A = this chain, B = another copy of it.
Amino acid sequence: MTDLPERMTRYFEDYVPGFTVDCGSVSVSEAEIIAFAKEFDPQPFHVDPVGAADGPFGGLIASGWHTTSLTMRQLVDHWISPESSLGAAGVDEIRWPRPVRPGDTLHVRATVLEARRSNSKPDRGIIRSVAEVTNQDGDTVMRLTAINFVLARNPLS
C-alpha cells in the first residue's frame, strides 16, 4: 500500500455529489508504453514506433488500458481509502478523445456524481464518480465513469 502523507480515510458519507479531489500527475515513457502493450495490447500503433509513424495516429500511442491502469493508480493513492473500499461493480463509460503519447504527463481529477445507500446492505453505499484525465497541454485524454461500493462510517440500523 502507498502511505502518502495526505492520505485521509474516507467513508461513504464523505463522497457527496460534487466532492472533487486532485489525484496528482503521472508521466509515461515510450518504454513503458511499449512494455505494457507487448504484454496486453500488441497492436502496431502501441508497440512499433517506426510502423506507428505511418499509422493512424502518426506515432506511437499508449493502449487505452494502460491509461486506465495509470489512472487507477492515482485513484488508489488519492481518492480511494483502503479502509472503506469494497471494489467496483463496473464502469458506465470510458472515452479516449485524444491519444496518450510517449512523454505525456497525465493529470487525474476525481469527482462524485451520485451517492446512495445500499438498499440491501446497511453498512455501505454506492458511489458513481468520474475521473477526468488531462495531458500537459490541458487536453482531455480520458473520461471514465465508475461505480464503486464503499463502507459507511455509520451503518444504518
Contacts and interface: CB of A to CB of B under 8 A. Distances in A.
A56 interface: yes
A90 B87 contact: no
Contact of A72 (B65, B73, B89, B91): B65
Interface stretch (A39-47, A110-118, A130-138): A39-47
Contacts of A82: 43-44
A87 B45 contact: yes
Mostly, the A contact residues are mixed
A85 to B, nearest CB: 6
Interface in A84-107: 85-96, 99
A40 B69 contact: yes
A96 B86 contact: no
Contacts of A8: none
Contacts of A45: 87
A63 interface: yes
Nearest to A124: B56
A18 to B, nearest CB: 24
B86 A56 contact: yes
Contacts of A68: 65, 68
A87 to B, nearest CB: 7
A59 interface: no
